[in-house]
Amino acid sequence: MELLIIRKRSIILFFIISLTVLSASVWFFMKSPDVPAINANTTNNVRDIHLVTGEFKTKTSSGKVIEAYRWDPASIFLEKEERVNLIIYGVNGAEHPFYIEGTDIKGTVKKGEETVIPLQFDKEGTYRLICLTHPDKNHNGPMIAYINVD
């Protein structure tokens, strides 16, 4: 009879412990803050945007080789005042010296290297990221990306 009482106590204790663990788990998962996917790489509220340098190349029916270098993606979107690190990885093309129209930002993206460009615009508008080597069709471009700020 005494043995049965101990068993009952053990069962009750088991249920209490189980309930506590379950409650703690539910509380923990409910409390976990949602992390927006777009801010997954942020540190100190600076958002990272990644670009690469790409190249389209083909032969026309007459056998002429034509090509165009590109920033990819070629359109990015920023909020006014938002702090962003534009990180460009050089894949195609040895070097891409660039500037951003309407700013004093300039630099060079080199093959196999990442170039980090801190951005923060206080005026809305579209700012063009232009490669000096490939600015238009006649220079194997247009290698122009559009930074849209609103």
Interacting residues with Cu ion (CB under 5 A): 69, 96, 131, 133-134, 143
Closest CB to Cu ion among residues 79, 136: 136
- To which H or E segment does residue 71 belong? strand 65-72
Cβ(85)–Cβ(118) below 8 Å: yes
**103 Cβ contact list (under 8 Å, min separation 6):** 127
Classified as helix, coil or strand, 22 is helix
Following DSSP, what letter does each residue of 89-127 receive, concatenated?
EB-SSSEEEEEETTSS-EEEEEBT-EEEEEE--SS-EEE
Closest CB to Cu ion among residues 115, 133: 133
Closest CB to Cu ion among residues 93, 127: 93
Cα angle at 68 between 118 and 60, to 5 degrees?
Answer: 170
Q: How far apart are CA 142 and CA 74, in angstroms?
A: 11
Closest CB to Cu ion among residues 12, 94: 94
Closest CB to Cu ion among residues 9, 57: 57
